[in-house]
Chain A
Amino acid sequence: MHNSDNEKLNKPSEAVKNEPNDALSALWQAQTVTTINLDEVKASLGSERTKQRWYMVLDLLMIVPGIYVFFKYWDNMSYIAQMIILFISISSLPFLAYQLWLRSEAAFYKNAQTADHLAKLTKQIKNNVRIAYMTKHSTWIGMAFGAGLALERLFSGELTSEKLARMVVVMSSISIVMLMWYVWAHKRQKRFERQFETLKSMAQQR
């Protein structure tokens, strides 16, 4: 499809002053263009909305295990275990709020000026770098907390040898998952760093 739509150059009075609509504009307008597939747009829009809603549900579900542990085992926990669970639960809430905010931002495109959009996007990617970094390190910190919790129970005599063996298996399995999570978060961090550099150079090239 060539430039057959009815949007043409504005009248000279509306067009850029003191800059004649020269051959360059005519040449630009004559370039080959692609037709937008509206059915595909509608379908993508629908699936994108559904996907975003599911992501938000999943984000919210991530705190369910914490809440479950909180209410189910709270009375049976030692003071240290209670503090650890409380710390993890409270520290995860800002992440959840930020994650939900990011999703809502992504869901609604705004007609911001490009300079503002670029600045905001750069800031957002910078935050993503930080989050990926923190997620990466939260894996081994989480494991350290878990090990601390297990040791605390062991030394307080709450663990039988059978329970201890089961815990070692569980901890080993979690370690493997955490290792995979660490690698995934590291890759995300590196990707966001590259995006950040790209945006920074875009903003600097004036």
Chain B
Amino acid sequence: MQEFEDVFAQYGALLSRVANSYEANEAMQQELLQEIAIAVWQGLSRFKGDSSVKTYILKIAHNRAVTHVASQVKRLDTHQYDHDNIGSDGFLSTTNSPEEVSSQQQSLERLLHAVRALPLQPRQVLTLSLEGLSYDEIADVCGLTKNHVGVILKRARHSIMQEQPHA
């Protein structure tokens, strides 16, 4: 039990960022994070040490997020959230003047918005890369070849840099 708690203490933020990359709405992010945490908890009991814990839980987290996105069609189209300019977290609210939000927050808003607008595969490859995973690890999580990861990552970064010219 303590082992599980240690994993969540260590990788909680990582899992939260996975949820953030799929959902823009704060309530939905929390719901997805909770779903991911449950899935990871269940999955950890079957962890055999074939890969790093980080890679292992990232696979589970992304799979759970994919299932979540599919299941959301019964409620609201997830893409509706993705392109919603008025997030409940206020990140993308147009009511705040530029002076009210820091420059980093603005950059983050643009980054998150651009990441969520990416199709699944580039989004996943890019975010895993931003979490510091190697090509091999990304290929292992996504089920791609190493070369394919390179191509997708290059395109995704190019797409993101168009939104983040100063990053």
Give Cα distance in the complex from A121 to B5, angstroms: 29
Q: Name the contact of B142 in the complex, choosing from A16, A30, A33, A115 (C-beta under 8 A).
A: A115
Chain A interface bracket (under 10, 10 to 19, 20 to 34, 35 or more): 35 or more
- With A34-B30, A109-B60 as known contacts, state yes or no: A25 contacts B39, CB within 8 Å: no
| A79 interfacial by beta-carbon distance below 8 Å | no
| A153 interfacial by beta-carbon distance below 8 Å | no
Give Cα distance in the complex from A5 to B16, angstroms: 12
Q: From residue B53, how far is it (CB to closest CB) to chain A in Å?
A: 10
Complex contact A28–B144 (CB within 8 A): no
Which residue of chain A has its CB nearest to the CB of B77?
A198
Complex contact A19–B129 (CB within 8 A): yes
Per-residue contact bits, chain A 10-29, to B (CB 8 Å; 1 contact, 0 not): 10001111010111110111
Complex contact B104–A41 (CB within 8 A): no
Q: How many residues of B contact A (CB 8 A)?
A: 72
Give Cα distance in the complex from A14 to B164, angstroms: 25
Q: From residue A190, how far is it (CB to closest CB) to chain B in Å?
A: 10
| A99 interfacial by beta-carbon distance below 8 Å | no
Q: Name the contact of A114 in the complex, choosing from B13, B70, B141 (C-beta under 8 A).
A: B141
| A111 interfacial by beta-carbon distance below 8 Å | yes
- With A108-B42, A109-B64 as known contacts, state yes or no: A40 contacts B5, CB within 8 Å: no
| A117 interfacial by beta-carbon distance below 8 Å | yes
Within 8 A of A (CB), among B123-167: 124, 127, 129-135, 138, 140-144, 152-153, 157, 160-161, 164, 167
Complex contact A1–B13 (CB within 8 A): yes
Q: From residue B106, how far is it (CB to closest CB) to chain A in Å?
A: 11
| A176 interfacial by beta-carbon distance below 8 Å | no
Give Cα distance in the complex from A191 to B74, angstroms: 6
Complex contact B140–A113 (CB within 8 A): yes
| A4 interfacial by beta-carbon distance below 8 Å | yes
Complex contact B129–A27 (CB within 8 A): no
Across-interface contacts of B14 in A (CB, < 8 A): 5, 7
Complex contact A108–B133 (CB within 8 A): no
Complex contact A41–B140 (CB within 8 A): no
Within 8 A of A (CB), among B1-59: 5, 8-17, 19-20, 29-30, 33-34, 37-43, 46-47, 54, 56, 59
Q: From residue B91, how far is it (CB to closest CB) to chain A in Å?
A: 9
Give Cα distance in the complex from A10 to B55, angstroms: 12
Within 8 A of B (CB), among A55-110: 107-110
Q: Name the contact of A45 in the complex, choosing from B41, B121, B134 (C-beta under 8 A).
A: B41
Across-interface contacts of A125 in B (CB, < 8 A): 70
Across-interface contacts of B19 in A (CB, < 8 A): 34
Which residue of chain B has its CB nearest to the CB of A13?
B134
- With A10-B133, A16-B129, A27-B107 as known contacts, state yes or no: A36 contacts B16, CB within 8 Å: yes
7 A-B pairs, CB-CB below 8 angstroms?
A36-B34, A37-B34, A109-B42, A114-B59, A114-B66, A117-B62, A121-B66
Other than A36-B15, A113-B142, A121-B70, give 18 A-B pairs with Cβ distance below 8 A.
Answer: A1-B13, A4-B13, A5-B9, A5-B11, A16-B138, A27-B108, A35-B12, A44-B34, A114-B63, A114-B66, A114-B141, A121-B66, A191-B74, A195-B73, A198-B69, A202-B66, A203-B120, A206-B121
